[in-house]
Chains A and B, each alone.
Chain A
Amino acid sequence: MKFSSILRYAFLGIFNAGSVYLIPLIITFESWFLLSVLIFIMFLINFTYLTDKFAALKWITPGVIFMFSFVVFPAAYNTYVSFTNWSTGHILTKTQAIDLLEARTYTPEDQRGVEFDIYIFEDDNQEYYFGADLNENEFLFGKAVSQDLIKEATFARHEPSLKNSSGEIVPPEGFKLLLGKDQINLANKLQELSLVIDTSTRAQLYKISVFGSSTGRLLSTSQRYSYDSDNDILYDNSTNATCSSDGDNFLCNGESVDPGWRVFVGSENYKKLFSNQRIRGPLELVTKWTFQFATLTVFLAFSVGLLLSITLNKEKLKFKRLYRALYILPYAIPAFVSVLVWKGLLNPDYGVINTWLDPFYTFFDIEPIKWLKTKESARAAVLLVNTWLGFPYMFLITTGALQSIPKELTEAAKVDGATGVQSFWRITFPLLMVSISPLLIGSFAFNFNNFTLIFLLSGGGPPVIGSEVAVGWTDILISFSYRLAISGGRGNLFGLASSVTIIIFGIVLLISALSFRYTKRLERIYGNI
């Protein structure tokens, strides 16, 4: 056998071993979706690398797996979230919520704050007994029982003999007193056990001490809530209230009980976006600005980049490399850094920009611009900074594209008597657009969702005065959806925010599709030159 084959089988073997090891783990998590995905991937990998039938598959399989796990799955999950009520108070499944509610205990009003020592005894059959040193007259002793056996349990009896006159604990015959590490190792078993005192009261551990005795408190024998799955009803045992489910919460006496659970709500979120005037108004405003922002950004950055690349494309220019290197610099600095630097520069009171402009303001006797604090200045600043961030990229790609356009074409035009301007607009520019326009579309789509810039530079502000939901003049759709996600009426509105992102996705998809069609037409017209 060839060495390469040995390697292949060895790797496949390790991969399969790892996967097989994962299967029982996933089963314990009861994540059937993950299990089916794992089995599918195992099958796919083995099939691909054990047979030689589909050579191409060998190259694309890893890529496809990554694409599904990091692009398709999150997108699909996001879509799913947009059809749910996922928000603060509704993040658990119904089963989880009911489990939590059923685990709640309560202490009747008059027994609150009672604390006492609890001693844990173990008999020969690994059964546990609690000794509760309630007060001088009561040292209660009995078998500690789990939640489901409370009703049948015998009541604890007073056993003064367990504590001798000097206060030491004397375990009864056949019992061992658990101390320190012994009880701590059993902590998660002991925490489920109670010592039943009478029909309504029990003692439970509330603190397990490292040294000496542990501490207990009194609880009602019944749990706070019990759930009736047949009628989907929750009983509040502390108030004897009957709570019905309203779809995603239990309502006790008209008040909803936290936590609720998440459910599928269909198109509810989308309806809310379009019918709820409170959200729709700002949404329209933000959508309009998002389009303006993305279009203007691409236009400005492209114009500046193109202008520079044409200028630097002149053959006789000296230090051409130096200039080019300098113009690439803004692109080389991380946006996180330069945006924050710009924010400092733009500070209306102490920023460098207003300091420089100061003579200008005094000469024309005008008010200094309150950068980022008024609608117009904030929008201008966002565009200015984004142009700064974007032009080097445009400069880079147009320089490349310009150099690939044959000189003969412009020379021929010159011979035919075209002026420089004519030959640029009629020949160079259209040819440039053939190769550049897909990149411009990409840049548009990127800026449509340019959360980093907006979040770091203006935070979406300044606030739109009089809007009913918090929204700012420079908020774009994605930063608006972020605001919705984290500052809804009661905390987070993940479902609603997801539906906004789905709308963004739709818009970007539509625009890209239309633009690519247009680009194809360009190619057909100019592709033959």
Chain B
Amino acid sequence: MKRNKLRYLVILVLLSLVVTACGGGSDTASDSPETTEAPQETLAAPATTSPPPVKLVVWAEEKVATALDPLVGAYEAAAGVDIEVVVYDFGQIRTDVQTAGPAGEGPDVFLGAHDWVGELAANGVVAPLDLGAVASDIFEVGVQGFSYGGEVYGFPYATEAIAMYYNKSLVDGVPTSWADVKASCDAAGTELCVGAPGGGGGGDAYHMHPFFGSTGGYIFAFDAGFDPSDIGLDNDQAIASAEYLDSLVKDGTVASTDYGASMSAFQEGRAPYWMTGPWARGDASAVDYGVALIPQFDGNAATPFVGVRGAMVSSFSDNKVLAQSFILDFFATVEVQEAMYNSDPRLPATKSLFAIVEAADPIAAQFAASAANGIPMPNIPEMGSVWGPVGDAMLIIRDQNYGTNEETGVTVNTATDAIKLAAEQVRTAIAGG
């Protein structure tokens, strides 16, 4: 008898798996074709006998989804559609729209970062989104970020760029030139000066962009789109910038810290400055902080990388026009934008929201000013070959990790060598990939 019981248990487990499997499958399969066919039978029938409402699936990261979820009710009621906001891990959205979309199970609308656009468009999983009249309300850098191959692929709802946090109890503000930064740290008598993070164990080309891109260096030339054949990482200005960064590291202005270390240094008052973005405001609030522009390089404004987040339409959506309408008529409204801002305070991408935020939050305005000087991160797929080499070069300079590689015999003794090598690596990777 005991043996029998076990047998049924196994069958039961198997069975429940099968049952859950078909439960999951049926949702997606059943609602797409039927909804359009049915109205034909019900001639001029009122909405009460109409088929189940059209459904739009929206993938969003947790903070945005929580803000969005209570709001979509209004649109659902007005439009008679069913909007399902699915909480998704942010990074996972990028990979999953590419697998779920072609398999016929993806979202209609998803929220993501502009630097995915090149990859997603190359893979054919994102549909162009004509911004129409809404475009005039969006900051130029946001539209640029979502432009790829002559089309715009998303409605930008937030931008983000790094700026300089400063500890008000240690320094008065952020000097406008790097030369004065060191002096202010010496006056404050802190252990470190500027925490310029390199993320994780690898380098961080994102945080370090102002150091090589402010005086004329660039990764890809930008002219209505990024050009992967024109790499300006090792032009004269970029080399001069790398050498300048090297001198800043040598005199102790820029500390050799990764993200976590630069954060704790700032929180503990061991460093008066911290170069990072608006997402760290909660962490920075351990001290009385202010935010200002990153000091200028040789009279040129620092150009941080600007990340843009936006709503995109899947090219595998059955309801592209409705998805587009949802974004432009509902998602883009200032009420929704404001609610999302309150849940996840990133820099507004629309002028109307910015006007609201600016008055209420001068720190956000500082970040916005910093973003205005910046350029969007290149969104072409070739950017995948850039993060590694450039991050490594920045890491070599920031950690003063010069030396010779025994295997290849290549010597990197100076910042110039490092940035030149990175440029070469990027060129070879793009040519060979």
Which residues on A are within 8 Å of B, measured CB to CB? Answer: 4, 7-8, 11-12, 14-15, 18-19, 21-22, 25, 28-29, 45, 49, 58, 62, 65, 88-93, 96-97, 100, 115, 124, 126, 176, 180-182, 184-191, 205-211, 214-215, 217, 258-259, 276, 278, 281, 285, 343-344, 347, 349-350, 370, 372-374, 457-470, 472, 483, 486-493
Contact = CB atoms under 8 A, between A and B. Distances in A.
Nearest to B1: A4
B429 A217 contact: no
Nearest to B200: A459
A190 to B, nearest CB: 7
A91 B95 CA distance: 11
A489 B18 CA distance: 42
Interface in B1-51: 1, 4, 7-8, 10-15, 18-19, 21-22, 25-26, 29, 35-36, 39-40, 43-44, 47, 50-51
A15 B410 CA distance: 64
A462 B394 CA distance: 12
B36 A488 contact: no
Nearest to A258: B122
A470 B388 contact: yes
Contacts of A188: 35-36, 54, 318-319, 321-322
B354 to A, nearest CB: 24
A490 B382 contact: yes
Interface stretch (B76-84, B292-300, B336-344, B356-364): B76-84
Contact of A11 (B8, B102, B260, B412): B8
B9 to A, nearest CB: 10
Given A188-B319, A458-B201, A490-B381, A88 B122 contact: yes
Contacts of B133: 115
Contact of A489 (B118, B119, B200, B431): B431
B11 A15 contact: yes
A210 B403 CA distance: 65
A191 B102 contact: no
A191 B396 CA distance: 54
A185 B39 contact: yes
Interface residues of B, number: 100
B263 to A, nearest CB: 12
Given A187-B54, A465-B410, A483 B403 contact: no
Contact of B124 (A92, A176, A347): A92
24 contacts: A4-B1, A11-B15, A12-B11, A181-B80, A184-B80, A185-B81, A187-B319, A190-B321, A209-B325, A210-B330, A211-B78, A258-B124, A258-B149, A374-B401, A458-B201, A459-B202, A463-B203, A464-B407, A466-B421, A470-B388, A470-B425, A489-B430, A489-B431, A491-B118
B140 interface: no
A259 B433 contact: no
Contacts of A259: 122-124
A115 B130 CA distance: 11
Given A259-B124, A349-B257, A461-B395, A467 B202 contact: no
10 nearest CB pairs, A to B: A489-B433, A466-B410, A459-B201, A259-B124, A470-B388, A181-B80, A463-B392, A191-B321, A491-B381, A187-B322
A350 B261 contact: yes
Given A4-B1, A29-B104, A176-B44, 12 more contacts: A90-B123, A181-B47, A184-B79, A185-B81, A207-B325, A207-B329, A210-B330, A350-B265, A467-B405, A487-B385, A488-B385, A490-B122
Given A4-B1, A91-B102, A344-B260, A18 B19 contact: yes
B366 to A, nearest CB: 28
Contact of A180 (B79, B122, B395, B401): B79
A36 B399 CA distance: 57
* Interface SS of chain A: mixed
B63 interface: no
B419 to A, nearest CB: 13
A491 B228 CA distance: 13
Interface in B372-397: 381-382, 384-385, 387-389, 392, 395-396
A208 B385 CA distance: 40
Contacts of B118: 491
B123 A88 contact: yes
Contacts of B47: 181-182, 185
Interface string B176-200: 0000000000000000000000001
Contact of B4 (A4, A15, A472): A4
Contacts of A176: 44
A4 B35 CA distance: 45
B324 A206 contact: yes
B111 to A, nearest CB: 19
B285 interface: no
A372 to B, nearest CB: 6
B70 interface: no
Nearest to A182: B47
Contacts of B409: 466
B29 A28 contact: yes
A55 B335 CA distance: 66
Given A185-B80, A466-B405, A492 B14 contact: no
A217 B130 contact: yes
B201 A457 contact: yes
B428 interface: yes
A195 B404 CA distance: 68
B321 A205 contact: yes
Contacts of A29: 29, 104
